[in-house]
């Protein structure tokens, strides 16, 4: 990947953008020289304890409920290898490549602090794996969010050992040892503390939170654009989005969402009709009028989740941990509760914004509420069904989003003979949030597609510059109304791609400038 961006690990906490670059853009990674020094210093502490007759968790004892068993010196390296093999016990379909890459670079970031006691070569092997484009096969199921994401991380550690399976840079599934040899990477043979250091982190949960925050920043702005298009299509007013009204309830997210709606609707001849004498409608439905309040609450939720992610990016998650004054201490920092709560909170926000989007779509299809649009936006209602079933699709997705909004983090199933008697289920919260973001994307895409069709049908009324730009983008790839019903699924998928890629937002911003 010669043209990929470059991320240096160990100069401080990774930024969210750096995590995204490694996960999605194939960014190469390197360890800072200062990080190598920290790793060597941490390793010296572990080596000094390796032959100690006193028990030290993670170095000379078993794990979890087996921590009371002291392991003879000559079996301690085997203990670490066995830990990785036994903990690589996941099941189910493969986790996405971007999630696995995020997980590995975040574990590498913790190793680079020197607080885990691994050798320099072990940390460098993680970097080599990323740079070679080798992705361990990590099954969907296995983590309960305590001690961190044990099973997913163990599958990655197993690949470093040359065991298990991986996807090579070309995406071919093959034995890990073959891929390592082909890339010139020597398999790691874990020694004291290293097996535990490679598996005991919340990196999977955190990686998915960082990716989700990145995606939701785009989606919430795009949802503002979709809402503005629906306001126009339904002959609504922008008067309720006035800055003076928003300051009466001073939530920052609400202010940003309202500012976006004002910007997207600026210069719209359709909304300007409300300034004309004799316009009879006093106020719009909640799904139009209250968009800043709902979209804004989701933004504030996202801001909280992003703050959690920033703090976690600066954290050192391992147990035991090598302290700055050269001690090895047990701790509970591996518990995923802070991440699990944030992940669940985002799923709630995504479900609610999507629910409002579906309600706006439904209004455009109903002759009793659409203010003059044909039934279901059909070319010949009765013969044609128009967007009737597109709204069904939205409704089905929104129902699923509501189920996905049920918190995972309130659950706990004890493990390891009750040694681990309260767990976070943060991995499950992260996995369902990824599904929620996909569904949210699809709901917003259908609203955009429907609003564009409704605006076409409003001719000769003309939309504003920003919404017209989005409509033109859609019309470049999706035909307008006329000619009767068409196979709608491909058009929906095209709209989904325009939303997910950021193209729809970029079209609006070509007229408005950057939205908040």
Q: Which of 270, 282, 274, 407 is nearest to 337 (CA)?
A: 407
Q: What is the CA radius of gyration of the chain?
A: 26
If you ran DSSP here, which 8-state letter would residue 132 be given? T
Question: Cα separation of 297 and 164, whole Å?
Answer: 44
Residues 292, 295, 301, 306, CA torsion sign: negative
Cβ proximity of 228 and 261 under 8 Å: yes
Residue 351: both structure tokens together: 């479900």
From the number of C-beta atoms within 10 Å of its C-beta (0-12, 13-18, 19+), residue 61 rates as middle
Q: Which residue(s) pair with 139 in the sheet?
A: 94
Does 57 participate in catalysis according to the annotation? Answer: yes
In three-state secondary structure terms, 293 is helix
Question: Cα separation of 158 and 161, whole Å?
Answer: 5
Q: Which residue(s) pair with 166 in the sheet?
A: 136, 174
Q: Which helix (H) or strand (E) holds 85?
A: helix 76-87
Q: Which helix (H) or strand (E) holds 41?
A: helix 33-50
For tokens 């804004």, name the residue: 296
Residue 138: how many other CB atoms lie within 10 Å:
30
Instruction: Please tell me which residue in 57, 286, 341, 392 is annotated as part of the active site.
Output: 57
Q: Which of 473, 425, 483, 420 is nearest to 451 (CA)?
A: 473
For tokens 């992260």, name the residue: 430
Residue 250: both structure tokens together: 């001073």
Question: Cα separation of 130 and 24, whole Å?
Answer: 12
Cβ proximity of 357 and 295 under 8 Å: no
Question: For residue 23, what are the contacts with CB-CB under 8 A and spacing of at least 6?
Answer: 98, 99, 101, 102, 105, 207, 211
- 254-270 core/surface letters (b: 16 or more CB in 10 A; e: else): bbbbbbbbbbbbebbeb
Residue 306: both structure tokens together: 């992003």
Catalytic residues: 57
């Amino acid at each position: 990947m010669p043209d990929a961006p470059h991320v240096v690990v160990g100069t401080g906490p990774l930024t969210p953008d750096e995590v995204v670059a490694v996960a999605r853009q194939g960014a190469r990674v390197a360890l800072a020289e200062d990080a190598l020094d920290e790793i060597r210093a941490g390793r010296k502490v572990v080596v000094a304890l390796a032959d100690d007759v006193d028990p030290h968790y993670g170095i000379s004892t078993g794990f979890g409920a087996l921590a009371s068993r002291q392991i003879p010196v000559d079996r301690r390296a085997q203990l670490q290898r066995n830990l990785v093999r036994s903990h690589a016990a996941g099941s189910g379909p493969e986790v996405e490549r971007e999630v696995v890459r995020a997980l590995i670079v975040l574990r590498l970031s913790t190793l680079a602090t020197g607080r885990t006691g691994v050798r320099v070569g072990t940390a460098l092997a993680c970097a080599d794996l990323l740079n070679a484009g080798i992705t361990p096969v990590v099954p969907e199921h296995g983590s309960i969010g305590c001690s961190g994401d044990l099973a997913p991380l163990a599958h990655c550690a197993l690949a470093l050992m040359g065991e298990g399976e991986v996807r090579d840079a070309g995406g071919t599934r093959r034995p890990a040892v073959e891929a390592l040899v082909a890339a010139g990477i020597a398999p790691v043979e874990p020694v004291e503390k290293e097996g535990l250091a490679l598996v005991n982190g919340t990196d999977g949960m955190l990686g998915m939170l960082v990716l989700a925050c990145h995606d939701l920043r785009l989606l919430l702005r795009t949802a503002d654009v979709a809402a503005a298009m629906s306001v126009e299509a339904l002959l609504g007013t922008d008067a309720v989005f006035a800055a003076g009204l928003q300051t009466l309830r001073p939530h920052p997210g609400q202010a940003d969402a309202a500012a976006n709606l004002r910007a997207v609707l600026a210069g719209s001849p359709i909304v300007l009709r409300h300034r004309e004498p004799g316009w009879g409608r006093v106020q719009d439905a909640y799904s139009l009028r209250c968009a800043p309040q709902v979209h804004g609450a989701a933004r504030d939720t996202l801001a909280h989740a992003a703050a959690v992610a920033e703090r976690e990016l600066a954290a050192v998650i391992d147990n035991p941990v090598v302290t700055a004054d050269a001690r090895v201490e047990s701790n509970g920092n591996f518990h995923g509760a802070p991440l699990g709560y944030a992940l669940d909170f985002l799923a709630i926000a995504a479900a609610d914004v999507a629910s409002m989007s579906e309600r706006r779509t439904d209004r455009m299809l109903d002759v009793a509420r659409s203010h003059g649009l044909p039934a279901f936006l059909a070319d010949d209602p009765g013969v044609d069904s128009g967007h009737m079933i597109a709204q069904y699709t939205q409704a089905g997705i929104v129902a699923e989003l509501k189920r996905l909004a049920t918190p995972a983090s309130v659950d706990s199933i004890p493990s390891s003979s009750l040694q681990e008697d309260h767990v976070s289920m943060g991995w499950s919260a992260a996995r369902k949030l990824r599904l929620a973001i996909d569904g949210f994307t699809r709901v917003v895409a259908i609203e955009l597609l429907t609003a564009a069709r409704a605006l076409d049908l409003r001719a000769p009324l003309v939309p504003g510059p920003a919404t017209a730009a989005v409509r033109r983008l859609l019309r470049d790839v999706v035909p307008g109304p006329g000619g009767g019903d068409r196979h709608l699924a491909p058009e929906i998928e095209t709209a989904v791609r325009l939303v997910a890629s950021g193209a729809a937002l970029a079209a609006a911003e070509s007229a408005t400038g950057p939205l908040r």
